[in-house]
Amino acid sequence: MQELIIKGPSKINGSIEISGSKNASLPILISTVLAKGSCVIGNVPNLRDTKFLISILKNLGCKINFKNNVVAIHSSNISKKIADYDYVRQMRASIVLLGPVIGRYSSFKIALPGGCAIGTRSIDLHLDALKKMGVKIKILNGYVVASRSGKSLTAINHRFPKISVGATQNIIMAATLASGTTVLKNCAIEPEVIDLINFLNKCGSKITVNKRVIKIAGKENLELSNHEIIPDRIEAGSYILATMATKGKLQIKNFLIEHLQEPINLFKKMGLKVKKINTNEYLFSCSRIKPINLIETKEYPGFPTDLQAQLISIFLKNGKKSKIKENIFENRFIHIPELRRFGADIVLKNNIVTIDKVSELNGAEVMATDLRGSFSLIIAALLSKGETIISRIYHLDRGYEDFDLKLKQCGVNIKRKK
């Protein structure tokens, strides 16, 4: 298993180009099973998760070629209507296949995703809305067995009891081929959801968004169209936080700052300096961090849960009883025991993390446990004296394209040991 060796302390100082968004690429690639024809999707990050999804789609019968961040795809007909456990267990986002496949075909069987390191992550919101649309669902031998009769699904007027990115994407896709106009309330409106909608509209859908209400006029069929994936705001946010933590300087290219506006405004209050250099190009620097009393994770446009772990790390040497409250996932704290190995002073009570600064952190042997939590370990390693060894770095490879090369480019002493 590959390991990462980082020698600290180290400052971020250099320039990085942000990759395409992982969380936008996944549903957009999935949504191609809805439509006829071929298309080219650009700016797709070369990650474990995107490659994995491509292998799932190929297994279902799609023809796909992925090279130089471009996916050429022909999904006109999927020949296999089962997504096996071996695939689904490795990538929870595959549950988002259910809506589009059952929207286009009369049956589909997909393994139940199960729990994961950051919480139980149930799929009730996905299944309840699909049932309302006329899908018969049985849970059998660990699989969701879905079927429908009739020519298409039925449009619904539905309010999600809780905001969910995946359920919103799943039901939007199912509704594109339903009979009638679907109205979904209390939807997730993350930029990754909007990118999916933009792609579907290019393919002939008629989808509108008004605050958290999304209307989808069902069509008989859709035709694939080319698309460029938006930049990854979470990747950008992670590098910005690494810059703040190390009081460094970082030029970022290919970044849509409006996708991270609230967090950036907050970071500015904490001492981040932002200078626009060009379209989608910014210089970030920070010479001192002003601790903030309480930051809470919220749905977009609020502070993303996907930056919570990295935010904790910036307070390790700067926090004065700084508090971070996690509101989205009940158990997204698996990085905390690992951060303590560096000598961090962190207290977790219910869903609130309190961080007090320590004057010194020391390199340690730690384990990557989930995608975003693993980046918080990198930040801690940059702040620590001596060598840090991070094992199980496949978690980082799931979501940060060329992260070791990008960090090296910014002056970090980092090595991947194969």
Length of the chain: 418
Q: Which is nearer to ligand UD1, 93 or 380 (CB)?
A: 93
What distance in Å separates the CA atoms of residue 279 and residue 210, rounded to the nearest whole number?
27
Return the C-alpha torsion angle 112, 116, 121, 124, nearest 10.
Answer: 10
Distance of closest approach, residue 306 Cβ to ligand UD1, in angstroms: 5
255: helix, coil or strand?
A: coil
C-alpha angle with apex 92: 105 to 307, nearest 5 degrees? Answer: 130
Is residue 194 involved in binding ligand UD1 (CB under 6 A)? no
Answer yes or no: 116 catalytic. Answer: yes
97 and 83 in contact (C-beta within 8 Å)?
A: yes
Distances (CA, A) of 43 to 25, 66, 70, 96, 316: 9, 11, 6, 21, 34
Q: Is 26 in the site for ligand UD1 (CB under 6 A)?
A: yes
Binding ligand UD1 (rule: CB under 6 A), the pick from 195, 306, 338, 401 is 306
Burial of 49 (0-12, 13-18, 19+ CB in 10 A): buried
The span of 60-68, 134-142, 161-169, 311-319 binding ligand UD1 (CB under 6 A) equals: 161-169
24 three-class SS: helix
Kindly tell me which residue out of 47, 167, 177, 272 binds ligand UD1, with binding defined by CB under 6 A.
167
321-360 binders of ligand UD1 (CB under 6 A)? 328-329
Q: Which is nearer to ligand UD1, 56 or 93 (CB)?
A: 93
What is the C-alpha separation between 89 and 95, in angstroms, rounded? Answer: 10
229 binds ligand UD1 (CB under 6 A): no
Phi, psi at residue 211, to the nearest 5°? 50, -120
Judged by CB under 6 A, which stretch of 78-86, 139-147, 165-173, 279-287 contacts ligand UD1? 165-173
112-131 binders of ligand UD1 (CB under 6 A): 119, 121-126
Residue nearest to ligand UD1 (CB): 166
Shortest distance, position 259 Cβ to ligand UD1, whole Å:
13
Task: State the nearest-atom distance from the C-beta of 251 to ligand UD1, in Å.
Answer: 26
SS3 for 251? strand
Query: Could you say which of 39, 62, 116, 286 is catalytic?
Result: 116
Q: Would you name the residues annotated as active-site residues?
A: 116
**Which residues sit at the interface with ligand UD1, rule CB under 6 A?**
23, 26, 93, 119, 121-126, 162, 164-167, 188, 192, 305-306, 328-329
